[in-house]
């Protein structure tokens, strides 16, 4: 299609508290704490507690953040243990291969994954329960005056609103009077389809964040446990961070990217890492999918007022899916308070 694209049309996002950054750790903690109430109110289950394994091949290497992540975990009361590759780690996960000397933070509690489509549906369901009207349309323009905002859709419909909060990811800047400073990174994920026997063998796989030792293409990877997708098949997903990111600067570039199969170099690197990481993996098939991740100038979401009656909560920096409910709550509080910041973190 030629409309806007989203990157949540798959079936797994990592959720966790432990993070090298205390702000992201706190957002994760608060979001996870709210999952049960959101699931109960909506009647939609979206959270799985498979745990999350953060692995470093060498905690003494320049730029390694494992010790920093552990400190944040302690600060925010994460439930975790420290495991070594030559001790407990290989015993807990005999089907995973990490280099000797690796150290891991094995987080339990609410750590694991969320189903992004079900999470979005739960959020929309509760919003409608509380009086929201859901309009599924592509917005082409937003204009403001002293009375509020006028929203124009791609079909020419106009909607009048007292206040507008924009959370349109990579598309947000094109709806604003002046653009935000951020990078739209084109990234690729790889899905390994598993048959019933492989899915059963790997059912105890946690979510994984793994800094790679001197890989020429990827700085790190993340992976999700085997999950059932809407097509009824079971896939293990892996993605990564490129040393040299591919940047997209226009809506046409985003559309062309989503119409393709991703970056061949990235696909090959992800396949190589996956087959080395998971012992004796025999996937039924491998397929790649494109994704776009928006990074802000300071590494946190932009949440603020940009004009009269116009606000933003955007820029997930590759870490926001798990915390989307809390980030949205901050944005809603900002609108409710007419732009005054009352959240207990600095604006």
Provide the pLDDT for residue 6.
Answer: 81
pLDDT in tens, 113-147: 999 999 999 999 999 999 999 999 999 999 999 99
Confidence of residue 2 (pLDDT cuts 50, 70, 90): confident
pTM of the predicted model as reported, rounded to 2 decimal places: 0.95
Provide the pLDDT for residue 319.
Answer: 94
Q: Is the dihedral of CA 111, 115, 121, 122 positive or negative?
A: negative
pLDDT in tens, 5-37: 887 678 899 999 999 999 999 999 999 999 999
Can you give the length of the chain in residues?
Answer: 347
Alpha carbon 131 to chain centroid distance? 28
The answer to whether 17 touches 105, Cβ cutoff 8 Å, is no
Mean pLDDT, range 232-239, rounded to an integer: 98
Mean pLDDT, range 169-198, rounded to an integer: 96
Provide the pLDDT for residue 280.
Answer: 97
107 pairs with which residues across the strands?
52, 80
């Amino acid at each position: 299609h030629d409309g806007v694209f989203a990157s949540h049309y798959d079936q797994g996002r990592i959720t966790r508290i432990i993070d090298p950054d205390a702000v992201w750790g706190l957002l994760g903690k608060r979001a996870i704490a709210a999952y049960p109430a959101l699931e109960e109110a909506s009647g939609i289950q979206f959270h799985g507690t498979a745990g999350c394994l953060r692995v470093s091949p060498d905690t003494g290497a320049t730029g390694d953040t494992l010790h920093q992540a552990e400190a944040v975990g302690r600060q925010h009361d994460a439930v975790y243990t420290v495991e070594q590759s030559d001790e407990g780690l290989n015993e807990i996960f005999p089907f995973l291969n990490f280099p000797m000397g690796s150290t891991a933070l094995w987080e339990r509690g609410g750590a694991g994954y969320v189903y992004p489509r079900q999470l979005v549906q739960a959020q929309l369901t509760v919003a409608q329960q509380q009086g929201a009207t859901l309009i599924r349309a592509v917005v082409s323009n937003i204009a403001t005056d002293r009375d509020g905002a006028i929203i124009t859709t791609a079909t020419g419909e106009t909607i009048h609103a007292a206040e507008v909060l924009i959370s349109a990811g990579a598309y947000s800047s094109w709806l604003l009077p002046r653009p935000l400073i951020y990078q739209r990174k084109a990234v690729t994920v790889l899905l390994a389809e598993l048959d019933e026997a492989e899915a059963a063998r790997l059912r105890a796989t946690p979510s994984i964040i793994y800094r790679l030792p001197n890989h020429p293409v990827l700085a790190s990877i993340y992976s999700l446990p085997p999950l059932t997708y809407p097509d009824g098949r079971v896939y293990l997903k892996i993605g990564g961070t490129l040393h040299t990111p591919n940047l997209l600067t226009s809506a046409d570039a985003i559309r062309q990217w989503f119409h393709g199969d991703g970056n061949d170099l990235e696909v090959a690197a992800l396949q190589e890492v996956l087959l080395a990481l998971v012992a004796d993996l025999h996937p039924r098939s491998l397929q790649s999918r494109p994704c776009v991740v928006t990074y802000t100038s300071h590494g946190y979401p932009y949440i603020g007022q940009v004009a009269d009656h116009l606000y933003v909560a955007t820029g997930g920096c590759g870490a926001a899916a798990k915390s989307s409910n809390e980030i949205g709550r901050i944005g809603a509080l900002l609108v409710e308070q007419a732009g005054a910041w009352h959240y207990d973190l600095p604006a």
